[in-house]
A and B are shown apart, each in its own frame.
Chain A
Amino acid sequence: MTREAPHLNEEQLALLASEVPNPLAEEHLVSCERCRRRWQQYVAIREAMRALPSPALPRDFTFVLERGVTPPSIPWWWRHRFSIRVGTLLAATLLVMLLSTALVLPGPSEKRALEQPAPTAIAVLSSQETPTGPGAGGEVLPPSAALEGTPMGEDTATSVSAFAAPAETPSRVTPEHEQEVIQPTGGFSRLGLLSFTVLLGIITLFGLIFGFALPMIHRIRSKNVLQ
């Protein structure tokens, strides 16, 4: 290090009182009396501070434990908070999926309406499919005749047979019948689905309280205690 080398700044010198200098700083301290003197002042001050007598203890602080202070036990939800959070997230996801499915898919009445043919279609089907020939169950009265109040006579049997005709035809399962058949099962499944949704809602609510809200309050309180 030459004489022209810049002096170490005050902050560097102050820190060198407790740090090993780098080779350049060490060389400078050897050659520069001004910096060495200042550095030695810092070293001396630090040594004096290390030698300061400790204030005498006024009492033994282990008495803290003799006052019967008991630390609060760790709540169960704090210990299991991570598994509670995972369960809550799963339940919430399932709940959202169920609810969105219920909203998007048609309900039972809508489904019935969709599956039921339109009235005109029924009429067409009836005219095409109902046997009208002799021995096939009788004739169907035209609507105008029925409205005109045809006297009940020999035609009555015809009329009756005409109304009874569908019963005599081979039984055809209509959507209405289908609904009647599956009605009890559908009711049970809807009830089960509803119960499951409610259960998921309760689990989610429970998880939000014990997995998120209470641990957050617990953490804030503990921070306040330590600060």
Chain B
Amino acid sequence: MFGTVPAGEEQQLAMGTGDPDSTLVAAARAGDHDAFAELVRRYQRLVYAVSYRLLRDQSLAEDVTQDAFLRAYLSLDRFRGTSFRAWVLRIAHNAALDQLRSLARHRHVPLEAVPERPEPFNPPASVEHQGLVAALEAAIAVLPPDQRAVVLLADVEGLPYEEVAEALAIPLGTVKSRLARARMRLRALLEADPRARELLELSGRLASGESDPRDLATWTQE
């Protein structure tokens, strides 16, 4: 059981922040295991995916995901943020960084050069698509950890900038600058990778007039 939480505080948690998980968080803090299990079910895929892409290792990603939820569960009374999702991601990101540091220490390689060890994903639809996915995954894996984390959260998982900033405990401006640098580096890497030809063809199609820059708002509304 969780310790007693003052009724007012519970109500504040449940009603205050606009976080869609606030009711479940309040219930979990009051000792409702099912409520916390529901939170785990909501975010386990996201936490595991981010951990996996940060670490490039299935068993390590499993450990980090399990550890993140366990820590979140044990520290739920100290959660004071605005988003449970960002909070869990932050715990997972810190745990993943610890793992990366440990890997770098034991293997005597810098953080940026942690070897890529691709694990089987869900089978892609076609060979071309498989090539593109592999090229993208490889390019993301080459990014430095700080840029990789921003790209994973903002571009791959589609989190808003504010939540990315909260999850990584960095200012909004830093999120944008890291994201811009990461995209620039990704573009350069993909340009040099023949597996990304499909992607370049797509941008060629776009360049040939299938898309209008005036439709930017449409592109960004996801």
Q: Which chain A residues have a beta carbon within 8 Å of chain B's beta carbons?
A: 10-12, 14-21, 26, 29-30, 33, 36-37, 39-50, 52-62, 64-65, 69-75, 79, 222, 225-227
Interface pair B184/A54, CB less than 8 Å apart: no
Q: Enumerate chain B residues within 8 angstroms of A222, measured Cβ to Cβ.
A: 75, 78
A–B pairs, 5, beta carbons within 8 Å: A45-B183, A45-B187, A46-B155, A50-B155, A71-B73
Known: A52-B137, A61-B65, A62-B41. A16 touches B216 (CB 8 A): yes
Interface pair B40/A61, CB less than 8 Å apart: yes
Measured CB to CB, the closest approach of chain A to B122, in angstroms, equals: 5
Contact partner of A55 among B71, B121, B140, B213, CB < 8 A?
B121
Known: A29-B213, A54-B49. A36 touches B69 (CB 8 A): no
Interface pair A10/B184, CB less than 8 Å apart: yes
Measured CA separation A108–B133 after assembly (Å) = 91
Q: Enumerate chain A residues within 8 angstroms of B181, measured Cβ to Cβ.
A: 11, 14
Measured CA separation A37–B202 after assembly (Å) = 11
Interface pair A26/B214, CB less than 8 Å apart: yes
Contact partner of B94 among A39, A53, A57, A226, CB < 8 A?
A226
Measured CB to CB, the closest approach of chain A to B216, in angstroms, equals: 6
Secondary structure at the B interface, as helix, strand, loop or mixed, is helix
Known: A50-B158, A55-B48, A69-B70. A26 touches B133 (CB 8 A): no
Interface pair B70/A41, CB less than 8 Å apart: no
Contact partner of A44 among B33, B203, B216, CB < 8 A?
B203
Measured CB to CB, the closest approach of chain B to A17, in angstroms, equals: 6
Q: Within residues 145 to 163 of chain B, which ones have a CB less than 8 A from any CB in chain A?
A: 151, 154-156, 158
Measured CA separation A21–B47 after assembly (Å) = 31
CB-based nearest B residue for A219: B78
Interface pair A74/B3, CB less than 8 Å apart: yes
Interface pair B179/A14, CB less than 8 Å apart: yes
Q: Enumerate chain B residues within 8 angstroms of A55, measured Cβ to Cβ.
A: 48-49, 52-53, 58, 61, 119, 121-122
Measured CB to CB, the closest approach of chain A to B57, in angstroms, equals: 11
Interface centre among A30, A36, A44 (most CB of B within 10 A): A44
Contact partner of A48 among B4, B41, B69, B132, CB < 8 A?
B132
